[in-house]
Amino acid sequence: MAWLVAGLGNPGERYAHTRHNVGRMVVDELARAAGERFRKVRFIPAEVAEIHHGDERVLLARSTLYMNESGTSYAGIAKKQHVDPDHVIAVHDEIELAPGVIRVKLGGGNAGHNGLRSLQSSLRSPEFHRVRLGVGRPPGRQDPADFVLAPIARRDADDVAALVDRAADAVQCLIVEGLPATQERFNGGAPGV
């Protein structure tokens, strides 16, 4: 059975370099590293790049819908490609985790994350993998939505790039080595912490 990696984020240049798009950045990095390009999917509002890890077929997906309604895109691909929920990996930002921290798990709630809510509803199951990427809480009294949708400051760009690289490694590890090994390797603090 193939794997589906859902890079949660918003389409368009306006959102490309925001914390809310780190999941989308991860699938972009995985495709870039494999030398693959995204292609539009017929009749589904999504783009997919297909890569392979050993014997594993991996579909990297980006919805062309906004995050809060993107679950239909990923569920449509999963249905078309016969991918069960336990072979879906949602990669997403997480404000409740400190910047640079990664947590990998299977199942759970959506913690108010609209992308996860949409995906869970569309898959009709919470039993998919999550690669949660810590972006931290907004400073002061800034609205969390404004914080994650604001462009990443130049001073934070290197840290976000390092997080994306590590998350891409975590996705590959999850596919090849399984959940326990991935959690042991990646569910610690941020590097250097």
DSSP string, 76-94: HHHHHTT--GGGEEEEEEE
Catalytic residue, from 17, 20, 87, 92: name it.
Answer: 20
The pLDDT score that the predictor gives to residue 76 is 97
Tell me the mean pLDDT per 10 residues along the chain, length 193: 96 96 98 97 97 92 97 97 97 95 95 92 97 94 92 95 98 96 87 54
Q: What distance in Å separates the CA atoms of residue 105 and residue 34, rounded to the nearest whole number?
A: 25
Judging by DSSP bridges, how do beta strands 102-106 and 88-94 pair with one another? unpaired
Q: What distance in Å separates the CA atoms of residue 123 and residue 6, rounded to the nearest whole number?
A: 12
The pLDDT score that the predictor gives to residue 146 is 93
The question of whether 20 is a catalytic residue gets the answer: yes
The pLDDT score that the predictor gives to residue 124 is 96
What residues does each domain of the chain span? 3-186
pTM of the model: 0.95
Indicate the class that CATH gives domain 3-186: alpha beta
Main-chain dihedrals φ then ψ at residue 111, nearest 5 degrees: 50, 35
Structural tokens at position 18 = 């925001």
The pLDDT score that the predictor gives to residue 89 is 98
